[in-house]
């Protein structure tokens, strides 16, 4: 009888543990981190291009990526009567064959699991480093984290959210602000970019490209200034982020996007 009671307790404990583990796992999600080859917008895979900065014509780009002018106009919200500007970023979607060829060339995105309630760093660790943290600097509050990186680095969304604003803003330069309803409505801010890809009202996914890093606004060199706020109160971003490590592979188990056999 005593042995049966002990077994019952052990069994109940295991059930509770498994139930807790299952509950915890409900928040895990697969994250694909956009790179310079495969990017996402409006749930489509493709790439952002400023037409005036490449040699190919628009017709050449449509043919190269397997898309059409109509598809590009629809995705970018450009009316049939509107002109596709050479000086503004335009998202060109890929067809399945183009995406497949990129994956065969090992140009796929990094894939890992992340808790939907937590943030990820807005830049790859490989070529970046933290140069300034939250706190007093030059007799003023430095309201976020500065991450030095090469000019034109891919800046990604730290979590699923909605674009609250995307524009030039004084000392911030070109900056994006996201609101994250699933994380108590906090906001994240990404400043000093060279190009902005998203616009107000866009829904974005964690890991989706928002901009390219730059040196706009008040800066001493190319970097991303990253802030976290709640009801306009400054919070420490590093309380919401995993440790910043030199090698991302030591932070999470990463898979590479590949062709599914």
The CATH number covering residue 211 comes to: 2.70.70.10
Number of other residues whose CB lies within 10 A of the CB of residue 189: 22
Q: Report the number of distinct structural domains present in the chain.
A: 1
The reply to whether 46 falls in a domain is: no
The reply to whether 69 falls in a domain is: no
The reply to whether 256 falls in a domain is: no
Q: Which of 27, 134, 40 is nearest to 91 (CA)?
A: 40
Instruction: Reply yes or no on whether the pLDDT at 11 is more than 80.
Output: no
Residue 22: pLDDT band (50, 70, 90) is very low
Q: Using CA atoms, how far apart are residues 64 and 42, in angstroms rounded to an integer?
A: 20
Name residue 141's beta-bridge partners.
136
**Per-residue pLDDT reduced to its tens digit, 100-130:** 999 999 999 999 999 988 999 999 877 767 7
Structural domain harbouring 213: 119-248
Q: Using CA atoms, how far apart are residues 146 and 54, in angstroms rounded to an integer?
A: 31
Percent of the chain residues past pLDDT 90, beyond the cut:
66
Pure H helices in the chain: 2-25, 58-65, 69-76, 96-104
Q: Using CA atoms, how far apart are residues 88 and 196, in angstroms rounded to an integer?
A: 9
- Across 45-61, average pLDDT: 97
The reply to whether 6 falls in a domain is: no
Instruction: Reply yes or no on whether the pLDDT at 145 is more than 60.
Output: yes
Instruction: Reply yes or no on whether the pLDDT at 3 is more than 60.
Output: no
The reply to whether 159 falls in a domain is: yes
End-to-end CA distance of the chain: 54
Q: What's the mean per-residue pLDDT of the chain?
A: 85
Whether 75 and 68 have beta carbons less than 8 Å apart is answered as: no
Instruction: Reply yes or no on whether the pLDDT at 7 is more than 70.
Output: no
Q: Which residue has the higher pLDDT, 243 or 216?
A: 216
Element (H, E) at 174: strand 174-180
The reply to whether 222 falls in a domain is: yes
């Amino acid at each position: 009888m005593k042995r049966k009671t002990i077994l019952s307790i052990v069994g109940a404990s295991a059930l509770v543990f498994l139930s807790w583990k299952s509950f915890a796992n409900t928040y895990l999600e697969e994250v694909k981190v956009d790179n310079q080859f495969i990017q996402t917008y409006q749930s489509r895979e493709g790439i952002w291009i400023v037409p005036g900065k490449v040699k190919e014509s628009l017709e050449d780009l449509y043919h190269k990526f397997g898309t059409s002018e109509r598809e590009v106009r629809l995705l970018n919200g450009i009316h049939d009567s509107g002109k596709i500007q050479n000086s503004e970023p335009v998202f060109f979607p890929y067809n399945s064959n183009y995406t497949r060829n990129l994956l065969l060339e090992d140009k796929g995105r990094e894939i890992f699991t992340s808790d939907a309630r937590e943030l990820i760093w807005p830049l790859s660790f490989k070529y970046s480093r933290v140069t300034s943290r939250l706190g007093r600097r030059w007799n003023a509050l430095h309201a976020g984290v500065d991450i030095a990186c090469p000019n034109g680095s891919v800046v990604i969304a730290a979590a699923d959210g909605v674009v609250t604003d995307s524009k030039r803003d004084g000392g911030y330069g070109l900056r994006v602000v996201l609101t994250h309803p699933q994380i108590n409505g906090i906001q994240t801010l990404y400043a000093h970019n060279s190009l902005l890809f998203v616009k107000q009202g866009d829904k974005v996914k964690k890991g989706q490209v928002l901009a390219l890093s730059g040196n706009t606004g008040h800066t001493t060199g190319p970097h991303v200034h990253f802030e976290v706020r709640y009801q306009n109160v400054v919070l420490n971003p590093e309380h919401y982020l995993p440790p910043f490590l030199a090698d991302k592979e030591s932070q999470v188990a990463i898979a590479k996007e590949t062709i599914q056999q």
